[in-house]
Amino acid sequence: MSILKKTLISMCLMSASTIVCATPITANVTADNDFIVVHSPGNGSTPTVVYRGANGSNWKKIESFKFDIDNSAQSLETCSVSVIAWGDGAVSQGMAAIFKGDNTIYTGSGHFKAYQSTTPSSGWAQTGGPNASQINALIAGSLANGQSPYLLPGSVAGGTSPWGTMNFPLASNVNANNFRWAWSTSNLAKKTYSVFTAACGDIVDAGAVHMPGEHFQCYGVQKGDALREETIMIEDQFGKTRAVLGKPVLLCNPSSKIHNDKMYKVQNEKRHMVCYDLIKHSKVENYNLEINNQFAPDQIVNDQRELFCVPSSKKHLKPVKPGKPGKPFPREMKRAEIKPLKQL
């Protein structure tokens, strides 16, 4: 197999037979009277109920739940998320929801289309509601005939009548003035299902992946004179080389990270990385590459080898004396002259 074919082109979670790239979604939903949440992949695939309301008519209990959305560009072209809400024939009907992935959408943000069906509502989400055939028809009707929802006067935070003030856990992620109770039409008194649908692409950015593994914060270092040009053999997906190591130039600490309100914790606080300069190594071919991580996909071209990093321990000794801080380590490190070796 060539080096190019062995190069990791897209960093996704791998299983034995498929590539899975999913973005976790956190949701807060309540509806008077009840609701289910449906994920529809589109392209003729069967919609899946990802959550059923657990509180029946007790809409004062805001329900929080999570599910995943495939973030591949192909999937996001047809994928949608829908809240199917119950009408009970009374005048006080409404639904309020927040969905948070790479982006946050909510009722009043302009991302939901609403559809009032003619399918009679019955039962509760836990014991009844629309059957599989009805769900398929409701989603199809919503995608084909969805309109801007009717937004009830006043904001959720402002205490819309008759529901009063509601405390949504994700409320800090929305524009409070725009966060509204919604219904499929200003006619609130129909005992049918109303459907509120948003495109998955409004919640998830194409290609953003969440790879498992440690995060590191790296620091330039000074001193480090103990190593005297260690020769090693290195092999990776770009090839192999006989390399001569120089001084340590980076120290990387295991680090926690908060990104889009998601916490990535330290997995092993004792495992650090120390990266050494390469004094000698063989030449590397350049390739056009696609990388992907929690920030964004990108296209790059690899350059020559720079450093070699090894798992290391770290022990704190006496601090540097005040007034004598370490000299800032330049972004572009002054490197020893590289003397290419014969390609192995």
- pLDDT tens-digit map of 130-167: 999 999 999 999 999 999 999 999 999 888 888 898 89
pLDDT at 324: 55
H/E element, 236 = strand 230-236
Q: Is residue 98 exposed (0-12), middle (13-18) or buried (19+ Cβ within 10 Å)? A: buried
With 70 as the cut, is the pLDDT of residue 123 above it?
A: yes
d(CA 120, CA 200): 27
CB count, 10 Å around CB of 324?
7
Q: What is the pLDDT of residues 193-232, one digit of tens each?
A: 999 999 999 999 876 566 678 899 999 998 888 877 889 9
With 50 as the cut, is the pLDDT of residue 13 above it?
A: no
With 90 as the cut, is the pLDDT of residue 309 above it?
A: yes
User: In the chain, what percentage of residues exceed pLDDT 70?
Assistant: 85
Query: Sign of torsion, CA 23 26 32 35?
Result: positive
Q: Are strands 182-183 and 63-70 parallel, antiparallel or unpaired?
A: unpaired
pLDDT at 326: 54
Our CA angle for 161, 162, 165, nearest 5°, is: 70
Q: Which residues contact 247 (CB under 8 A, 6 or more apart)?
A: 224, 225, 227, 276, 277
pLDDT at 3: 33
Type of residue found at 203:
I
For residue 197 the two structure tokens come to 């649908």
- What's the chain's average pLDDT? 84
Q: What is the pLDDT of residues 163-192, one digit of tens each?
A: 898 899 999 999 999 999 999 999 888 999
Q: What are phi and psi of 46, to 5 degrees?
A: -75, 130
Comparing 38 with 15, the larger pLDDT belongs to 38
* CA neighbor of 38 nearest in space, from 82, 69, 101, 86: 82
Q: What is the pLDDT of residues 265-274, one digit of tens each?
A: 898 999 999 9
Q: Which residues contact 262 (CB under 8 A, 6 or more apart)?
A: 24
DSSP string over 98-154: EEESSSEEETTSS--EEEEEEEEP-S-TTT-S--HHHHHHHHHHHHHH-BPPEEPSS
Local structure of residue 336 (DSSP, 8 states): P
d(CA 154, CA 196): 19
pLDDT at 328: 52
pLDDT at 292: 75
pLDDT at 323: 62
With 90 as the cut, is the pLDDT of residue 291 above it?
A: no
* DSSP helix, strand, coil percent of the chain (3-state; round to 5): 10, 40, 55
Q: For residues 103 and 205, is the Cβ–Cβ distance under 8 A?
A: yes
Whether the predicted model's global pTM rises above the 0.75 cut: no
